[in-house]
Amino acid sequence: MFNFKRKKVSARTVRRVLDRLRSGKVRGWEALEKTLSPIYGDMDFGTARLLIEAATEPFAAKIYSGSDTIGYQLLDAAGRDEQEDRIPFIEQNYAKLSANDNIQSRALRLLADIGTAKALESFWKLLKLPESKGVELHVPMVPLKAGSNWRDDAAERAPYIFPAVFDLIGHSNDLPSICDLIVKYSQEGLLDLSNYPDTMAKLNDEAERSLNASLEYDARCKELGLVEPTAEEFDEAFTAEQNLEWVLDVFRHTKFPEAEPLLNRVLAASDLRMKIFAVAAALKQEMQVSSQLLNEIAETPARRATLWQLLEECGLLEHFPESYRTQRLLAEAEMVMWIRHPFEWDAVPEMLELQAIVEVEVEGETNHYYLFTFSHSEFSEGKTCVGIAGPYPKEGPPKIGGRWTFSHFKQLEELSLRQHAATFLDRVEEGIEFEIVPVSTGGNLD
């Protein structure tokens, strides 16, 4: 850990540390921490400048790629007393900071956080530089004024933010963040995309390029029989598909007839995942989407959940296939989405089976939980795990959004179904009473 105790550090000490780095006497991450930690006691503007100015030297890779924390401390120290002092400091040293995308991104975030007209002017200017191509976009929506909320502050900033954001399309590699911001403001009713036809056309062009790149990659793999593409090919294809999906998500929230040729091309492609986003966007444009395609998407639990969420967010749930519009099938989809989360298995279970429905009454409202068993040859070693999805109202239309959907990955054989259910429900309320109705013979009820 760094030593952040307050103490004065002389310029001589700073130069001695830099000399040790230059000479190569400092090796290894722990040694680097130990050597640099004294500098952070009371780093002033001059100390930070010394370190930043050394960033172009060969040893600097140890500083900038070895630790993001080091770069953050440099930037936080620069102009500590007067925030606007950081603006010229960051502008002058921005090219040097490009040695590390995370630190460069941090520099931009500091400008956004300062939030003054001068800082924001610098923010947009730096974002358009070639050095910013790979930087993750942090759009200045903060700081909030005292007593205000996100929506009030965002509404005030929107007229200034979006012309600059739109101008980044084609300049920034972080198209997903741009699209995410557009969608977020659109959902809040703070941005009417119909007022920006030129921007929609630019997004359509970006989507066309991404679709072409994705289709070319698929065709090349098919032609050459590539089983394992190179890392570079895979990254390019992944980025192209990701960018396409994000633009399609924008088209899901506004009508843009000029996007119909693009949407028809995506709907004709073989990639079913790509089609999910195109389906929602096409329905928003009031295009015809076959019931066969909608059923094909909803057939798989993970895609079923995604389709439901996409249609629900833009008020198009009437198009969700009736044959899959049951609480049992939506609970199944939600359970799979939880299991496949990157923090869990990051994979779809090979087997998933409903074991029981658990009924709970709280404050006069009756809810159902769905108790599932699931397995995967790689993650569960052939054994069966237990998970629960819910709660969902017993009465009323089916839904997704069970906030207590969860699994502790305990094996079915460890407990009875009733004991498994009690273990899960203790997370909701310890000792809560419930009824359990088995729907399978796969486990012991008691």
> Which residues make beta-bridge pairs with 360?
367
In this model, does residue 281 exceed pLDDT 90? yes
In this model, does residue 377 exceed pLDDT 60? yes
Residue type, position 325, single letter = R
37 and 131: one domain?
A: yes
How do the residues of the chain divide into helix, strand and coil, expressed in percent and rounded to 5? 55, 10, 35
Q: What is the pLDDT of residue 251?
A: 94
Task: Classify residue 443: in a domain, yes or no.
Answer: no
187 and 298: one domain?
A: yes
pLDDT, one tens digit per residue, over 316-349 is 999 999 999 999 999 999 999 999 998 899 899 9
Q: What is the pLDDT of residue 51?
A: 60
pLDDT, one tens digit per residue, over 142-198 is 433 444 455 666 666 677 677 778 887 877 777 888 898 888 888 888 888 888 899
In this model, does residue 295 exceed pLDDT 70? yes
Q: What is the pLDDT of residue 60?
A: 57
159 and 250: one domain?
A: yes
Collect contacts of 359-364 with beta carbons under 8 A, ≥24 apart: 359/394, 359/434, 359/435, 359/436, 359/437, 360/391, 360/425, 360/428, 360/432, 360/433, 360/434, 361/433, 362/429, 362/432
303 and 345: one domain?
A: no
**How many residues are recorded in the chain?**
446
Q: What is the pLDDT of residue 75?
A: 59
Mean pLDDT of 111-131: 78
Task: Classify residue 334: in a domain, yes or no.
Answer: no
254 and 386: one domain?
A: no
316 and 373: one domain?
A: no
Q: What is the pLDDT of residue 62?
A: 52
189 and 254: one domain?
A: yes
Task: Classify residue 430: in a domain, yes or no.
Answer: yes
Mean pLDDT of 357-384: 90
In this model, does residue 12 exceed pLDDT 80? no
28 and 68: one domain?
A: yes
Q: What is the pLDDT of residue 257?
A: 93
The answer to whether 373 touches 353, Cβ cutoff 8 Å, is yes
pLDDT, one tens digit per residue, over 392-445 is 999 889 999 889 999 989 899 899 999 999 999 998 888 888 999 988 766 677
Task: Classify residue 330: in a domain, yes or no.
Answer: no
**CB neighbours of residue 340 within 10 Å:** 16
pLDDT, one tens digit per residue, over 23-48 is 766 655 455 455 555 555 455 555 55
CA-nearest of 279, 282, 286, 281 to 253 is 281
Task: Classify residue 189: in a domain, yes or no.
Answer: yes
Mean pLDDT of 266-282: 89
State which of 280, 296, 325 marks the end of a domain.
325
Q: What is the pLDDT of residue 211?
A: 92
Cα–Cα separations (whole angstroms), residue 8 to 5, 14, 26, 100, 209: 10, 11, 23, 28, 55
108 and 1: one domain?
A: yes
State which of 109, 138, 167 marks the end of a domain.
138
Average pLDDT, the chain: 79
Task: Classify residue 281: in a domain, yes or no.
Answer: yes
Domain count, the chain: 3
Range of the domain at 351: 339-438
Task: Classify residue 270: in a domain, yes or no.
Answer: yes
419 and 386: one domain?
A: yes
121 and 240: one domain?
A: no
Task: Classify residue 444: in a domain, yes or no.
Answer: no
Biggest CA pair distance of the chain: 76
State which of 138, 173, 193 marks the end of a domain.
138
Percent of the chain's residues with pLDDT above 70: 73
291 and 201: one domain?
A: yes
Q: What is the pLDDT of residue 189?
A: 82
